[in-house]
Amino acid sequence: MSLLEFKNVTLKFGGVTAVNDLSFSVEDGEVFAIVGPNGAGKSTVFNLISRFYEPIEGSIRYDGHNLLQVKPSGVAAFGVARTFQNIELFEHATVLQNLLVGRHRHRKTKLLSEVLFLPSARRQEIENREKVEEIIDFLDLQAYRDKMISGLPYGVRKVVEVARALATEPKLLLLDEPASGLSVEETTDMRWWIDDIRRQMGITVLMVEHDMALVSGVSDRVLAMADGAMLALGTPAQVQSHPAVVEAYLGKVS
């Protein structure tokens, strides 16, 4: 069974068809990339999975559930975490505090037991701290754990955003342009982080990315989109050499 399945999904904004009869599925444990020119519909796919947008047609299934019956606030509880193109962290909080916020969905204790700091709340806090420290070690963020986000270099913030998403212990991680704004060296590091997240943590990764070196280096399969529709789907090599993809990127050769 696929972890995520889009079937004939269509979404329009007025006269613009942002996603057009799109069908694809993401298998458990794979790194799956979505590529395409600006306006192709890639972010809209993420916003459909996050339930920010409602399709006008089609179905989206996730882990055996009809995702279209889940409220936007309920998506994280299903184990879907996301990073954003424009990093969304608490600027005036430390790395550690940002990651602890990511643990929110694992809160099992009641507010009263937290206020009274009962044993159950203490256990929960210890568990959260352990998980967050594990992620800090995993992504090599020890040097930044007590630093404010606002003072961190852009490349480190990108990794912290991935860390915050991992703190929720997702089954499916959505990465929105993880390499945008990164140097070549930082992009290479990001490639290894993504590979480790899949291999060592067993998390399925769905990413939107323009950097074809990163896409080819880490993805099992790639979906190329244009004008909301599928152009090609296959291995990175198959997609990059597909005539429709070449034409979308380079223009028709006549």
Ligand X SMILES: Nc1ncnc2c1ncn2[C@@H]1O[C@H](COP(=O)(O)OP(=O)(O)OP(=O)(O)O)[C@@H](O)[C@H]1O
Query: Where on the chain is the footprint of ligand X (CB under 6 A)?
Result: 13, 16, 18, 36, 38-44
Of 40 and 214, CB closest to ligand X: 40
CB of 21 vs ligand X, minimal distance in Å = 15
Of 42 and 198, CB closest to ligand X: 42
Of 43 and 98, CB closest to ligand X: 43
- The burial class, CB within 10 Å (0-12 / 13-18 / 19+), for 66 is exposed
CB of 72 vs ligand X, minimal distance in Å = 15
- Let me know: does 239 contact 35? Beta carbons within 8 Å: yes
Give the C-alpha separation, 226 to 249, whole Å.
10
CB of 40 vs ligand X, minimal distance in Å = 4
Of 85 and 113, CB closest to ligand X: 85
Of 52 and 90, CB closest to ligand X: 52
Of 6 and 144, CB closest to ligand X: 6
Of 21 and 195, CB closest to ligand X: 21
Give the C-alpha separation, 105 to 164, whole Å.
12
CB of 215 vs ligand X, minimal distance in Å = 13
CB of 122 vs ligand X, minimal distance in Å = 44
DSSP string over the chain: --SEEEEEEEEEETTEEEEEEEEEEE-TT-EEEEE-STTSSHHHHHHHHTTSS--SEEEEEETTEEGGGS-GGGTGGGTEEE--SS----TTSBHHHHHHHGGGGG--S-HHHHHTT-HHHHHHHHHHHHHHHHHHHHTT-GGGTTSBGGGS-HHHHHHHHHHHHHHT--SEEEEESTTTT--HHHHHHHHHHHHHHHHHH--EEEEE-S-HHHHHHH-SEEEEEETTEEEEEE-HHHHHT-HHHHHHHH----
CB of 237 vs ligand X, minimal distance in Å = 22
CB of 22 vs ligand X, minimal distance in Å = 11
